[in-house]
Every structure is written in C-alpha cells, then in structure tokens.
C-alpha cells in the first residue's frame, strides 16, 4: 500500500508498507528478524509499519511532527498496536547539539534491551545514535545503519571495531520525491 501525504510545505511524502531500502537490504533484514524481537528505530517511516508486522515490539523515534502524524495514522489504519512511536523534536535553540534528545532517546532503556537497532533518522543524529545504542543492544544483536557511504558516518566503523558486518548496496526510492537514489546499508552484528 502506498499513500501520498503532504508535508507542511505542501510537498508530497510517500508512505510505503516497507522500508525505503534497496530490495537486497529489505530481504536480508527480513531474513534476520524473528517474531520475538524488540526493535529500536531512529527515524520512522515505511520501515516502522514493515517491522511492526514482523516483530514483537518496535520503539520508533521521529523528530518531524508531520511525519510522526503520518506514521501514527498509517499504523492506526493497519491496526498495528505493537509500536511505541515517540515524537522528539529537534531543539534549534541548542545550537551545539540540536539533536541531543532525539539521538539520546534510547538512553532511557536498560542495557541489552534490543535485538535490533535500526538507524535511519535525521542525518547529523545518526552517529551519536549509534554510539548511544551500543550498550542497549543484546549480545549478538544487529545495529543496522543506512547510508554508510556518507562521509559523516565513516567513524562508525572505528566505533564498532571488532563487530562483524556486511554492506548491501542498491537503489531505493526517496520518500519525498520518488526518485531512485543509490544507497548502502550496513548490518553490524555485535559479538556475544
């Protein structure tokens, strides 16, 4: 199912029932998921809906009020009640770190809570979200980070040094303009 919702500027926003990841990534992601998994997701979207249909619980953090509302409506329309969708806006008044609360939302959960942490949210918050999530992941859990070719994300590889990982590349549709873009998603696995 695809819905078109307009954001506050009137631009169309596409809502899919699947992640905006290359097909190879979605297939690999689907292969590692189990029904008893608990997932933390930074950046909601079609992946939130898709995950909710496959796992026990999803906690998803969103910073955009329009996108939060669109995903809330999509979840309700589909009768998906295993998602805790958190709205945590950016704080522009904190000019050094406007994403502190957003990236740090995972810190309120106990260590070794999540089977999967999926990072695909607001760009500058991705690296701190990975750092904050390391201890929140269960042994042998997965840290999945989208767009790992971006220069700003290269230090993730030193941060997660010693973890097993696989890169999956391909094309995906942009949620805002429907155009194909090249993407790399990296699946890191924590060693137990």
CA distance 117 to 131: 11
Is 172 within 8 Å of 21 (Cβ atoms)?
Answer: yes
Q: What is the pLDDT of residue 41?
A: 98
- Tell me, rounded to whole angstroms, the distance of Cα 162 from its chain centroid: 22
Per residue in 39-79, pLDDT (tens digit) is 999 999 999 999 999 999 999 999 999 889 989 999 999 99
Secondary-structure class of domain 2-189 per CATH: alpha beta
Instruction: Look at residue 14 in the predicted model and tell me its pLDDT.
Output: 53
- Percentage of the chain beyond pLDDT 70 is 88
Place of tokens 């939302």: 105
For the chain, the structural domain boundaries read 2-189
Please list the rounded mean pLDDT of every run of 10 residues in the chain (192 residues): 56 67 90 98 95 97 92 93 97 82 96 98 92 97 95 94 94 63 91 85
Backbone phi, psi, residue 102, to 5°: -65, -55
How far apart CA 157 and CA 163 sit, in angstroms, is: 9
């Amino acid at each position: 199912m695809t819905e078109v919702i307009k954001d506050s500027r009137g631009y169309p926003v596409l809502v899919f029932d699947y992640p905006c990841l290359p097909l190879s990534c979605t297939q690999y992601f689907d292969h590692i998921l189990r029904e008893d998994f608990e997932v933390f997701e930074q950046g909601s979207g079609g992946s939130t809906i898709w995950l909710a249909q496959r796992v026990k619980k999803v906690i998803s953090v969103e910073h955009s009020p329009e996108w939060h509302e669109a995903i809330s409506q999509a979840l309700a329309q589909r009768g998906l009640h295993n998602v805790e969708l958190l709205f945590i806006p950016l704080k522009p008044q904190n000019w050094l770190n406007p994403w502190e609360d957003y990236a740090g939302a995972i810190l309120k959960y106990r260590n070794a809570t999540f089977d999967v942490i999926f990072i695909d949210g607001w760009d500058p918050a991705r690296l701190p979200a990975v750092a904050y999530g390391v201890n929140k992941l269960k042994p042998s859990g997965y840290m999945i980070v989208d767009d790992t070719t971006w220069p700003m994300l290269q230090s993730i590889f030193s941060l997660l040094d010693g973890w097993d990982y696989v890169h999956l590349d391909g094309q995906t549709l942009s949620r805002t303009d429907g155009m194909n873009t090249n993407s790399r998603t990296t699946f890191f696995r924590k060693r137990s």
